[in-house]
Amino acid sequence: MEKILKRFLEYIAFDTQSDAETHTHPSTEKQFRLAEYLRDELLSIGLKDVKLDDRCYVYARIPATAGYENVPVLGLIAHMDTSDAASGANVKPQIIRNWDGSPIPLGTSRIRITPQPHLKGGTIITTDGTTLLGGDDKAGIAIIVTAVEKLLNSTMPHGAVSIAFTPDEEIGEGTDFFDLELFGADYAYTVDGGAAEYLETGTFNAAGAEVICRGISTHPGSAKNLMINAQKIAMEFNSMLPVYEVPEHTAGLEGFYHLTHSSGNVSQAELHYILRDHSSEILEKRKKFMLETADFLNMKYGQGTVSVALKEQYRNMAEIIEKYPFLVDIASKAIRDAGLEPTILQVRGGTDGARLSFMGLPCPNLGYGGYEAHGEREYIHVESMIKVVDIIMNITSYFTSLPDRLHKD
C-alpha cells in the first residue's frame, strides 16, 4: 500500500491543470513536468520502450512473454491534467488511516465530508479544502504504473501491453493528437471512472454551445428607445431554457443544458454552455432548441442580435462498446475475481475512451477508487486503488485466452 500511496502523493504535487482558452497543444506547458517525470519513472522500473512526444503524450510498451506474441494487445490509458473547476496548485493532502466513519474536516476550511460508509476502516486521502485533490486522474496513473511494475516483476504470462498518459482530457482535447498507430493496442481500458467496482460502458453524447448576444450601447442619460442591453438579452436567452434540465436537477439518464461561464457588457455578452444527453436524438433536439431560442430573440430584437455556434465534443461510446461484449465480460470477471461486484454504468460524463472508441480503439472505462472529483470535496480510498491494480492484472491475464482473430485490422 505504501508504494502506491507514495506514487499518488508524488503525482498530485504537480500542478497540471489544463486550460481551454489557450488554444495550444498541450493547453498548458506545466503538464510536461509530470509527463517528463512519468517517462523517467517508467524507464526506472524497467520499461525500455518509452516515448514522450512534443504534444505531451507519454507512450510505453511492455513486450509479450515468449509464446504470447499473438495475443491481442491490451491498452491502458489515464490522463495527466486536472479540472479547472478548482485549483490544482499547492495541493495539501490529508491522509486518514483506519477511518472511523466520522465526518472529516478539510483543513481549516468550513468543509466537512463523510466518505462512503463501506470505506470505513480504510485509508482516505482528502484535500485541505482549498484545492481539488487530483485523483482524477492521477490515481489512475498511479494504478497503471503500479500494475506495470507488478507485471514486470511477475512470472505471469501475458501479451503485449501498451500504456498511454494523455494531456488535456478535462477540456475535451485528450485524444486530439493521440497516435493510435504508435500506441498499437487492439483494445484498451481507460482508468478514469470513480469507485473501484465501476465499469463504465457508455457516456453522454456531448456538444458545446457559444451564444453571442449583441446590443447597442449609448449614454444611459439619453438611452430611451435606443439602448439594447446585450447582458439582459443573454439573461433572457438563459431564462428560456428548461429550468429543471440543468445538472443540479438531473440524475441517471437525464440530460441537461449547463451554463459554464458568461461575460459581457451592454454592447456584447457571451454565454458558454455544454449540452449533454445519453440519447443522440435528444441531444439533437437540445441543439435545435438553442437555435430556435436564438431565432425567437432575433425576431424580437432584430436579425443578428443572437448567434449560436454549436460544436460536437464526443459521442456515447455505448454505440461502439456494445459491439465488443467480451470487453465488458472480461472486465466484469476481473472485478469479481478481485472481490468486488461490478457496477456497470452509463456515466454522466465522458472520457478519453469515448472519442478513442469512435477512432477505432474500443475503450471501456475502469474505476480508480476516487469520489467527488472536480472540487475541494474530492477524496481517494487507497485500498480501492490496490483493488484496481488487481483488476488490471486479472484483465491482462484473461487477454491471453482471447483468440488471435480478435486482433483489430
Q: Does residue 26 have a cis bond before it (omega within 30 degrees)?
A: yes
Confidence of residue 409 (pLDDT cuts 50, 70, 90): low
pLDDT for 120 equals 97
pLDDT, tens digit, 9 for 90 and up, residues 115-137? 999 999 999 999 999 999 999 99
In whole angstroms, how large is the CA radius of gyration of the chain?
A: 23
pLDDT band at residue 407, thresholds of 50, 70 and 90? low
Residues 174-190, mean pLDDT to the nearest whole number: 96
Q: Decide: residue 341, CB within 10 A, 0-12 exposed, 13-18 middle, 19+ buried.
A: exposed
Output the pLDDT for position 20. 87
Quickly list H helices, 223-306. 230-239, 280-301
Decide: helix, strand or coil at residue 353.
helix
Query: Which residues have CB under 8 Å from 114's CB, separation 6+?
Result: 101, 102, 103, 104
* 2-12 and 31-44 helices, crossing angle to 10°: 150
Question: What does the pLDDT look like over 291-341, one tens digit per residue?
Answer: 999 999 999 999 999 999 999 989 999 999 999 999 999 999 999 999 999
Q: Annotated catalytic sites, by residue?
A: 81, 169
User: Is pLDDT of 406 > 80?
Assistant: no
101, pLDDT greater than 90: yes
Residue 403: band (very low, low, confident or very high) from pLDDT cuts 50, 70, 90: confident
Question: CA 140, CA 12: separation in Å to the nearest integer?
Answer: 12
Computed over every residue of the chain, the mean pLDDT equals 96
Burial class (CB in 10 A: 0-12, 13-18, 19+), 68: middle
pLDDT of residue 350: 84
| Domains parsed from the chain with CATH numbers | 2-203+316-406 (3.40.630.10), 205-314 (3.30.70.360)
Percent of the chain with pLDDT over 90: 94
Share of the chain above pLDDT 70, in %: 99
Average pLDDT over residues 46-70: 96
pTM assigned to the model: 0.90
